[in-house]
Chain A
Amino acid sequence: MACLFNEILSILACFGQNQLNRTVQDELPLASFYFTSVEPKPQNTCYMKKKCAAICSLSYVLLMLLGSFQLIAQTPVKKITGKVLNETQKPLVGAVVQTSDGKIKAISTEDGSFAISVPSASTTVVVSYVGHLEQVVPLNGLTVISVVMKVDDKGLDEVVVVGYGTRKKSDVTGAVASINSKVLQAIPTTNLSQALQGRIAGVESTPTSFKPGTGSKIRVRGNRSFNATNDPLYVVDGMPVSYTIDDINPMDIETVDVLKDASATAIYGVRGANGVIQITTKKGKAGKFSVDYSGSVSFENILKNIPVFNAPQLADSWRQAFSADKVYNYAQATSSPNLYFPDAQADVKLFGGTTGNAMWEFIKDAYQFTTFDRLTNTYIAKKRATTAEEKALLANLKFAVLDSVSEYDPTKVRGYDWQGNAVRQGITQNHNLSIAGGSDKLKSNLSVGYFNQKGIEFGQDYKRYSVSNSNEFKPTNYLTFGTNISYTNSTQNVGPNMYANASGMLPFTKPYDSLGNFLLYPNGDQQIINAGNDVNTVFNEVKVDRIIGNIFAEVNLLKGLKFRSSFGIDTRNTRNGVFNGSLSSVRQGTLANASHTISNSQSWIFSNLLSYNFKVKSDHNFNVGLLQEMQSLNKTDVMSMAAQNLIFEEQKWYSLNRNTLATVTGSGSYTAQQLVSFMGRLEYAYKNKYLFTFSNRYDNSSVLSEGNQGAFFPSAAFAWRVDNEKFFSEQNIFSSAKVRVGIGRVGNSSIAPYQTNGPLDFTLYNWGNGTAAIGSAPTTFKTPNLSWEKTTTQNLGFEFGMLKGRINATLDFYQSSTTDELQRVSIPATNGVTFMYINLGEIKNKGFEFSLNTVNINSKSGFRWTTDFVFSRNKESIVNIDGTGNNNLANLLFIGQPLRVYYSYQAQGMYQFSDTAKGGYLKDYLWTKGTNAANTAYRAGKINVRDANGDTLIDGNDKMILGTDNPDWTGSITNTLSYKNFDLNFMIYFRGGGMYRAPRPGLVGRYQSNSVNYWTPTNPSNEYQQPTRTSDVPTYWEALTYRSGSFARVRNISLTYHLPQSVLKKLKANAMSVYINSLNPFLFHTQSDYDPETIQYTEQFAATTGNPGPNSYSFRSFVVGVRIGL
């Protein structure tokens, strides 16, 4: 099958084009003219340019002629009136009534009535309404008619947005999945990327952070690129956007359609490599006027507290650390007898009793001192006799056997709860108002939104104002103009990380001294910095202005022949102010510093699409499309300024020149890239049973080397509507069925601009101490052959409905192969530069997606229970890295493995005393080779890692692939139960497999540590090593961090109450509901004390002291909300 597909693909470019031309030439000479002309000649772009210009000019002449012809042709003669009703005889607002040729249209009004003028009383009118079957009514002389619309309950018959147009879902040949606003808004979220989690098979959403205003990383069917982007393309109302989709208010979104396989995305060519997410915003509807308000307030609380040692536990771990290094005694010297049990004198020194350190106040009550004299260094506390067991233990551990030890009561050690004072209850407010309405000639929608989240950590919040407006003007029935514009203004306070800081503070210290003065170093240790004041002094504010807008004009030239031209702009301007005040953990008492960064980014896209939909006889339906498109992508200029030692703090980053050094440093940059593209598409349906789509796109990108800038991206797909076959009606198990196969190729050129021409870098040097000597040095070679990265996807899909649509399922199998990976490869540094860009390497993705919607109960009493089940599994594997068949250790790339793997030592617990005895692992195995016996890492209480290659040496060769960042599978189950006016909805999200890393505890006798079960001579733990004073980064610590990332999360439980009609009538409202929702209430995960989703993938750290850990903290929310429709 794969082979066959490849065969098809290799000839597709020409085949697609020829097929297209021949078919059209046979049927319609005029249209074929366009086709032959647009067939791109890649070798000669100049030729192409002239051709385009010629076609366009010609087409507009034609267009004008046809337009005027149509104006003359219309001569209405007969007026027809009537009503459109649903099956329960209720009026339907906004139903479209039109003549069978579609030239004359009317829209039903609020009471369902309409009036239409038709050429003659024998015409046939067609009535259509969303979600209902089309009704064809022959007038037969009648002038007043009543039309009853029947609900179309075939699941397949929704409309989905494909590239450059919409299609009935049943007619789509590619793998496309959709969700509507109802599903999107079932769970209140800040942004779209969060809302997609677990909703669509094949779309993986993982939070990048839980800080207010941050979004998620979206992957459609896995990663496929080493160095270029793996983010999907977002298309809003037909316009590809260039920046994060998370600026957009999710409440403005009507539907989301995800194009997953290349037969669907190839039409976006070089930008479609990672899937395409089509977003349709809310629009006004003809004949219907509505005002909708929705508002909610939610209360957020941290989901999982990070367990850290309490004061007595931490004190114990410090003692153990000192004792392990044989310095737990008053002198803290190995020359004095080392102690094992808590000792008053040793503690006096350890916890600063001799110097009056603040820690001592918390510890001292555990002992009963008879003498405590700092002047003479005399500290005598009450003792008790040692028990026989304790004596035996000391002897056994080779400690001095003491007759008495200090009387110690750990419950008397006092403690301070740092964490509890670093988090708060967050509050989120979300209000949205939309007004939509329209007539035949004008449809309009206006939405305004306000979102304000106060995060669970102090100083972190996010505020967003959004306005969006769409208008569609239809001055004549062959011309449509429209605009869509959305503006958002958001302010994100990234804030300080007070909770993480608090989790690292010693419980036997407190943030203020006895006089109430703030203590920057509560125990005097300058590595343990109290960030408690950061909420007042550390600011990191990101302000974003985002405008996405497009205007379009569409002309109906002939029946079925349309020309659409659109121009869209996407602008994102950000301002980032960073300020660190003097009394902060950043500046630690030195004068404040600040920076101010302004970034202006803009993209525009201009596209012209000619489409022709026609039938030959009644069995052959054709739809052809031709596109020309120019894109200016991400023209960005950035200016950044910074200053140290600000004179006063109130100014934050607004007057950087006021600093004691009288120096403001600055930097800036400018980048731009462009794309020019042509595309042709042919869709052909035979008897609505066999559906074919062929497309081919030609893209030219500025970032690639001259001469290699252009490429073709062809695709082909076939769908068989089994339910339209005769034999289908002979069974009654299945209510609908479709089989799809598709293949296509997409590209990726997402490398930074200016990389192909031998770019230079600026170097900094100076003569003497002051004169600038800024130089320029080569960074890489010219790469004249750099070209696209290409992804070919094959997809096989099944869609079917059973039991009269009670069960609907979609199944997709796919395989994609990305070749000519754009890579930044390391080259021998002897060349003078260390890397260059090349096209080499291959990544394969294989997977399976399944989604199932069932109506479990739909009783006459009004009880309805539905279940949505989504499952996807993707296997990503590197096939080839550099052509040699070798792995790339430096970048942790391994053949047969996904991109992000965990590669390290495998832990086998701790070495135990038994290992050191005869017959033990250390004694008889590890110590027998090389210098192992002298290595202090191979002792009881230290981390035991597997000697994977069996050479009796633990070294880099023993590292192995322990797991990957990718889950094996993900899935979700959503249940909705409704009865009368109540809806109960709950969703559970599952993630199976994958791995993450839990942080390293600080078992060093100096810092606070996560609460862990560590090894001591009397506690032979296999979880964590013995604390030691000398090393906070113990050898092989990495091995202890790896955890399985499987979890189940209850995403929401919501209960909605719809107010009954009787009440609504009194309130003059159409609909009104109130709901309560518990978001993320439960997480089922046992591998660590962390929420796996709060820890991002990191396998290699820049510094040897680097430590994995959460960058933010997840929370559960309780939401109360209301939705009102007038």
Chain B
Amino acid sequence: MKSIFKITILAGVCSVFLLVSCKKFIKEELVTQLTEDYYKTDQGLEDLVKSAYVPLKWKYEGEQSYALFNFGVDEFRLGDQFNNEQFNRYNSNLNSNGPDGFVNALWIQSYAAINRCNLGITKITEYNNPTSRVLGTAVQKNLRIAELKFLRGYFYFQMVQQFGGVPIVTESATSLRTEFDRASVAAVYNQIIGDFRAAGPGLPWSVTEKGRGTKAAAYHFLAKAYLTRGSAVADARGQKGTDMDSAIIFADSVIKFGPHVLESNFGNLWSVAYPNGSIPKAGFDGTPPAADKAKLTSNNNSNEIVFAAQFSDNLALASAANNQTHMFYATQYDAGIAIPGMTRDFFNGRPFRRLRPTDYTIDIFDRVNDSRFFKTFQTAYYRNVSSNAGLPLFTAADAPSPDLIGKPKVGIGDTSALFICNNPSQAILTADLAKMRFPRVYARYKKTSPTATPTSDFSDNKYLAMIKFNDGVRLTVTANEARGIKNGLLARLAETYLIIAEAYGRKGDYTTALTYVNVLRSRAAYKSGEEKNPQNWMYLGGSNDLQSTSNAMQASLTLFTTNAPSELYPTTVTGTPDRFIHFMLNERTRELCGELYRWEDLVRTETLFDRTKLYNADATNIAPFHKLRPIPLPQIVSLTKNGQAFGPSDIQSYQNPGY
């Protein structure tokens, strides 16, 4: 009987298992995974809006930053450790199926963002729940919709400048779509201007959640979109006669009504890159400069910034890459042909040596009066190695005082390397250079005798490093940490001034244009009481005083009404209107050098081919068609036409010319 009992138990247990519904058993239980149903809730919609901001970061998260935005232009050429050189050389590797995939990633990132915007605009419009705390009122809903329209406008603006006409998608698809015709450039600009105009009124001038879209950001980009459309002469962008007036009105409103003000000192924007402390006396040790979190925070919080991609210093919120732009402009101060006394540190950065300034960039600055030059480039490296090994020592022949004999010529924190930014006429005798006590001196121009032809110490390995992106405090203190925490500046008020100035000039009102330029010039000048860079009087012919250079810095009409030598106009540029455009480009270099606007600026002004060919010795293969990026092949091949996969002729006609 015991067996029967056991079997009964067994049978009972089995039956219980079987009674569990099969259907229920195989239903997926969602625990840590959300699905689209989340967007039916107000929290879900709020999160969707947040996600639409994320692709803003991509521009700064890797080598695409300089490759797509600052390579292949007049400002910079190749450093010695070049990657992605095709974007500078414009060689055959710059094609739609290139090894890097940056153009593909740009496309993917932009449309991912646009899709989130479209989805959010539709779903928030449909959302109707008055009890919701965050999206219960029309005001709350309209605010989010305005943010999304602003972002959508921004991403289409980025796309049209890089690719030309792109497919306009304003509805989020619920199932796979494979037919996407390219819209005309004019249609894309209409979409962009429409979005920015619709977004502006719904957005506040300032926000508590820093980084969200504001009226100022929307109108800045709206003005820039009008300026860009209206800059076209040969290109067909749908330009209208009113574009310049529109640009002026909206940009001016940002200055007049927005909360943003210019920093009093140009350097405050990137102060993290300046040494704190003083240089010790010869023969003594000081402290090498170190990065300062407070400075970085104040850079990030500058009220001059109109809109920025937000990067976090919190590991849990950081992306896998974060802002990496700090690496690409640095020169190799730490290895290779080594500089005695220097080792890699956070303050001086991790030198990837991708870009070095062209002669144009160095020469376009008034290095005597314009403080922006020395606030843009690093000319001195301060000894940060404590060991004296390998450092030159004072000898009886060159010691300033007998007690220094046998001591290192530079102490800790003293200058290990100096980059002298002189002109050919100021070339220094090599014998004089040899007498300097710094272990390394790189003279831009030197000569072996007074009559000799000057040569240069500047090379693709040792050059002036642009320091605007320096990021001495990064996500972690791990050696070689690549993830910077500086925000990505997408717009700052100085550019708003330049937009207005250019718009006035394009209308022929050069005098008004100059008033806006001169606001920046006044700020750029050395202030009364401000110490000037010693190179000013030692090598550049300037003066060693504490007087303001504001007067010398004021721009006058003669800078472009005549062929002013200081503006280095290309010989093909004649006539005031034409020179004015180039003058504005020069001024943008002086103010915005390296800030990842240049490629788009040159395309906008239809000067990419001429200026790059003239000033960038590495861009040997540039052709006029390079004003547009190739449409990424992986995108084209996944498209269909009338239900059929694209054939070679479809691919060719979808592609931009030349690729």
Q: Which 6 A-B pairs have the closest CB atoms?
A: A832-B115, A60-B11, A775-B51, A775-B50, A355-B390, A588-B479
CB distance B51 to A777 under 8 Å?
yes
Q: Does B335 contact A (CB under 8 A)?
A: yes
CB distance B11 to A57 under 8 Å?
yes
Q: Does A63 contact B (CB under 8 A)?
A: yes
Given known A49-B21, A931-B91, A934-B620, contact A830–B318 (CB-CB < 8 A): no
Q: From DSSP, what is the main secondary structure of chain B's interface residues?
A: loop
In whole angstroms, what is the CA distance A748 to B189 when docked?
48
In whole angstroms, what is the CA distance A764 to B310 when docked?
10
With both chains docked as a complex, state the minimum distance between the C-beta of A1030 and any C-beta of chain B, in angstroms: 6
Known contacts A671-B32, A832-B169, then 19 further A-B pairs from the complex at CB < 8 Å, ordered by chain A residue? A60-B8, A60-B10, A64-B8, A67-B4, A663-B315, A669-B32, A709-B26, A760-B34, A760-B38, A765-B57, A769-B312, A772-B314, A776-B38, A776-B48, A778-B116, A782-B36, A830-B180, A832-B112, A955-B95
In whole angstroms, what is the CA distance A57 to B485 when docked?
67
Q: Does A89 contact B (CB under 8 A)?
A: no
In whole angstroms, what is the CA distance A1023 to B11 when docked?
74
With both chains docked as a complex, state the minimum distance between the C-beta of B3 and any C-beta of chain A, in angstroms: 6
Stretch at the interface among B171-179, B226-234, B492-500: B171-179
With both chains docked as a complex, state the minimum distance between the C-beta of B293 and any C-beta of chain A, in angstroms: 10
Q: Does B577 contact A (CB under 8 A)?
A: no
9 A-B pairs with C-beta separation under 8 A: A49-B21, A375-B393, A479-B7, A593-B478, A630-B17, A760-B33, A764-B318, A776-B47, A830-B169
Q: In which size bucket is the chain A interface?
A: 35 or more
CB distance B10 to A565 under 8 Å?
yes
CB distance B22 to A45 under 8 Å?
yes
CB distance B315 to A644 under 8 Å?
yes
CB distance B31 to A670 under 8 Å?
yes
CB distance A831 to B173 under 8 Å?
yes
* Per-residue B-contact encoding for A65-89, CB less than 8 Å = 1, 0 else: 0011001000000000000000000
Q: Does A550 contact B (CB under 8 A)?
A: no
B11 contact from A64, A764, A774, A826, Cβ within 8 A? A64
In whole angstroms, what is the CA distance A663 to B312 when docked?
14
Q: How many residues on chain B are close to A (CB under 8 Å)? A: 117
- Across the two chains, which residue of chain A brings its CB closest to B296? A769
- Across the two chains, which residue of chain B brings its CB closest to A883? B645
Chain A stretch 187-209: residues in CB contact (< 8 A) with chain B = none
CB distance A702 to B36 under 8 Å?
no
CB distance B209 to A771 under 8 Å?
yes
CB distance B31 to A831 under 8 Å?
no
Collect the chain A residues with CB atoms within 8 Å of residue B334's CB.
526
Collect the chain B residues with CB atoms within 8 Å of residue A526's CB.
334-335, 343-344, 479-480
Q: B: which residues have CB within 8 A of A?
A: 3-4, 6-8, 10-12, 14-15, 17-23, 25-36, 38-39, 44, 47-54, 57, 80, 83, 91-93, 95, 97, 99-100, 104, 107-108, 111-112, 114-116, 118-119, 167, 169, 172-178, 180, 209-212, 297, 300-301, 310-319, 334-338, 340, 343-344, 389-390, 392-393, 395, 455, 459, 476-480, 485, 487, 620-621, 634-635, 637-639, 645
CB distance B112 to A886 under 8 Å?
no
Given known A526-B344, A587-B479, A673-B28, contact A781–B176 (CB-CB < 8 A): yes
A956 contact from B27, B83, B97, Cβ within 8 A? B97
* Per-residue B-contact encoding for A667-683, CB less than 8 Å = 1, 0 else: 01111111110000000
Stretch at the interface among A131-139, A248-256, A363-371, A750-758: A750-758
Collect the chain B residues with CB atoms within 8 Å of residue A1060's CB.
none
Q: Does A527 contact B (CB under 8 A)?
A: yes
Of A60, A476, A669, which is in contact with the most chain B CB atoms at under 10 Å from its CB? Answer: A60
With both chains docked as a complex, state the minimum distance between the C-beta of B116 and any C-beta of chain A, in angstroms: 6
- Across the two chains, which residue of chain B brings its CB closest to A608? B14
Collect the chain B residues with CB atoms within 8 Å of residue A771's CB.
209
In whole angstroms, what is the CA distance A774 to B92 when docked?
41
In whole angstroms, what is the CA distance A670 to B29 when docked?
10
With both chains docked as a complex, state the minimum distance between the C-beta of B417 and any C-beta of chain A, in angstroms: 13
Of A48, A335, A589, A757, which is in contact with the most chain B CB atoms at under 10 Å from its CB? Answer: A757
Given known A67-B4, A332-B337, contact A590–B115 (CB-CB < 8 A): no
Collect the chain B residues with CB atoms within 8 Å of residue A332's CB.
337
Q: Does A46 contact B (CB under 8 A)?
A: yes
Of B93, B176, B180, which is in contact with the most chain A CB atoms at under 10 Å from its CB? Answer: B176
Collect the chain A residues with CB atoms within 8 Å of residue B455's CB.
335
With both chains docked as a complex, state the minimum distance between the C-beta of A490 and any C-beta of chain B, in angstroms: 28
Of A60, A829, A955, which is in contact with the most chain B CB atoms at under 10 Å from its CB? Answer: A829
Q: Does A388 contact B (CB under 8 A)?
A: no
Chain A stretch 763-804: residues in CB contact (< 8 A) with chain B = 763-778, 781-782
CB distance B15 to A56 under 8 Å?
yes
In whole angstroms, what is the CA distance A674 to B28 when docked?
8
CB distance B28 to A757 under 8 Å?
yes
With both chains docked as a complex, state the minimum distance between the C-beta of A503 and any C-beta of chain B, in angstroms: 21
With both chains docked as a complex, state the minimum distance between the C-beta of B395 and any C-beta of chain A, in angstroms: 6
In whole angstroms, what is the CA distance A771 to B211 when docked?
10
With both chains docked as a complex, state the minimum distance between the C-beta of A62 and any C-beta of chain B, in angstroms: 10
Collect the chain A residues with CB atoms within 8 Å of residue B114's CB.
832
With both chains docked as a complex, state the minimum distance between the C-beta of A998 and any C-beta of chain B, in angstroms: 21
Collect the chain A residues with CB atoms within 8 Å of residue B393's CB.
375
Q: Does A475 contact B (CB under 8 A)?
A: yes
CB distance B48 to A831 under 8 Å?
no
Given known A645-B476, A770-B312, A778-B116, contact A765–B335 (CB-CB < 8 A): no
In whole angstroms, what is the CA distance A1119 to B459 when docked?
60
CB distance B3 to A676 under 8 Å?
no
Q: Does A833 contact B (CB under 8 A)?
A: yes
CB distance A60 to B92 under 8 Å?
no
CB distance A778 to B36 under 8 Å?
yes
CB distance A777 to B111 under 8 Å?
no
Collect the chain A residues with CB atoms within 8 Å of residue B337's CB.
332
Collect the chain B residues with CB atoms within 8 Å of residue A4's CB.
none
Given known A588-B480, A934-B620, contact A64–B4 (CB-CB < 8 A): yes
Given known A668-B32, A765-B50, A781-B175, contact A833–B315 (CB-CB < 8 A): no
Given known A60-B11, A64-B4, A702-B28, contact A606–B176 (CB-CB < 8 A): no
CB distance B36 to A700 under 8 Å?
no
CB distance B18 to A628 under 8 Å?
yes
In whole angstroms, what is the CA distance A700 to B22 when docked?
9
Collect the chain B residues with CB atoms within 8 Å of residue A709's CB.
26
A836 contact from B7, B176, B335, Cβ within 8 A? B176
With both chains docked as a complex, state the minimum distance between the C-beta of B156 and any C-beta of chain A, in angstroms: 12
Of A606, A754, A777, which is in contact with the most chain B CB atoms at under 10 Å from its CB? Answer: A777
Q: Does A874 contact B (CB under 8 A)?
A: no
Given known A45-B23, A565-B10, contact A355–B112 (CB-CB < 8 A): no
CB distance A46 to B23 under 8 Å?
yes
CB distance A565 to B36 under 8 Å?
no
- Across the two chains, which residue of chain A brings its CB closest to B5? A64
With both chains docked as a complex, state the minimum distance between the C-beta of A479 and any C-beta of chain B, in angstroms: 6
Collect the chain A residues with CB atoms within 8 Å of residue B167's CB.
830
CB distance A765 to B209 under 8 Å?
no
With both chains docked as a complex, state the minimum distance between the C-beta of B613 and any C-beta of chain A, in angstroms: 14
In whole angstroms, what is the CA distance A657 to B76 when docked?
46
Q: Does A759 contact B (CB under 8 A)?
A: yes
In whole angstroms, what is the CA distance A834 to B105 when docked?
11
CB distance A769 to B485 under 8 Å?
yes
Collect the chain A residues with CB atoms within 8 Å of residue B83's CB.
1104
Q: Does A357 contact B (CB under 8 A)?
A: yes
Of B18, B25, B31, B48, which is in contact with the most chain A CB atoms at under 10 Å from its CB? Answer: B18
CB distance A758 to B621 under 8 Å?
no
Q: Does A553 contact B (CB under 8 A)?
A: yes
Given known A64-B8, A676-B25, contact A773–B477 (CB-CB < 8 A): no
With both chains docked as a complex, state the minimum distance between the C-beta of B235 and any C-beta of chain A, in angstroms: 23
Q: Does A650 contact B (CB under 8 A)?
A: no
Collect the chain A residues with CB atoms within 8 Å of residue B477's CB.
590-591, 644-645
CB distance B11 to A765 under 8 Å?
no
With both chains docked as a complex, state the minimum distance between the C-beta of B274 and any C-beta of chain A, in angstroms: 20
Collect the chain B residues with CB atoms within 8 Å of residue A333's CB.
459
With both chains docked as a complex, state the minimum distance between the C-beta of A162 and any C-beta of chain B, in angstroms: 24
